[in-house]
């Protein structure tokens, strides 16, 4: 029998308690235990960024974090961006500016962009490119992603007025 550990986490504002194996990755916990499949698993080595979530206010690669390490944490996944069936301005911008193609990298890209825009609400194109450099996309060539993040920054600034 595997050694189970009790954890408590808050994911997208909802508290959860679970008993998990010490080797269970946070990405697998989110997907398999909570049914939050927006967190994608790509490389499973922390290189691609598809599994990016926000853990206690900072982006992390959930394929590199054990669920037990998140005990007591607040986690935000891509599912937590939308509120009351309303897309977040980032999601709207990605849709409107064609910031996605196959969509595999999109959840991780959105989470990284969300954190970045919290830190830098009026970024330059160069700052955006640097911020998302750790999230790989094989389809878009990044230009539309950069434009979407620029557009989201504008939308978020207008919404905060």
Which burial class, exposed, middle or buried, applies to 25 when counting CB atoms under 10 A from its CB (0-12, 13-18, 19+)?
buried
- In terms of residue numbers, what domain contains 44? 4-80
Return the pLDDT at 147. 97
Residues 113 and 48 in one domain: no
**Residues sharing a CB contact under 8 Å with residue 54, sequence separation 6 or more, in sequence order:** 60, 75, 76, 77, 111, 114, 115
Return the pLDDT at 76. 98
Residues 94 and 145 in one domain: yes
Return the pLDDT at 16. 98
Residues 76 and 94 in one domain: no
- Low-confidence stretches of the chain (pLDDT < 50) are none
Residues 74 and 126 in one domain: no
38/57 Cα distance (integer angstroms): 18
Of 141, 50, 39, 146, the residue nearest 90 (C-alpha): 146
Return the pLDDT at 161. 83
Residues 25 and 63 in one domain: yes
Domain boundary among the residues 80, 99, 115 is at 80
Give the domain CATH number at 143. 1.10.150.120
Residues 66 and 117 in one domain: no
Domain boundary among the residues 80, 98, 115 is at 80
pTM: 0.95
Residues 48 and 113 in one domain: no
Return the pLDDT at 73. 98
Return the pLDDT at 1. 55
Say how many domains are in the chain.
2
Return the pLDDT at 111. 98
Residues 57 and 106 in one domain: no
Give the domain CATH number at 11. 3.10.20.30
Residues 103 and 150 in one domain: yes
């Amino acid at each position: 029998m595997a050694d189970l550990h009790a954890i408590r986490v808050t994911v997208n504002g909802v508290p959860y308690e679970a008993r998990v194996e010490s080797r269970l990755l946070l990405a697998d916990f989110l997907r398999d235990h909570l049914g939050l499949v927006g967190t994608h698993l790509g490389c499973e080595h922390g290189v691609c960024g598809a599994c990016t979530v926000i853990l206690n206010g900072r982006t992390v690669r959930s394929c590199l974090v054990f669920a037990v390490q998140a005990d007591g944490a607040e986690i935000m996944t891509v599912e937590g961006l939308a509120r009351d069936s309303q897309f977040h301005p980032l999601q709207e911008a990605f849709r409107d500016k064609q910031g996605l193609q196959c969509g595999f990298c999109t959840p991780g890209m959105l989470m990284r962009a969300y954190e970045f825009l919290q830190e830098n609400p009026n970024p330059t194109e160069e700052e955006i490119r640097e911020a998302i450099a750790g999230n790989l996309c094989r389809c878009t060539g990044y230009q539309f992603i950069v434009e979407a993040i620029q557009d989201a920054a504008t939308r978020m600034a207008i919404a905060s007025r």
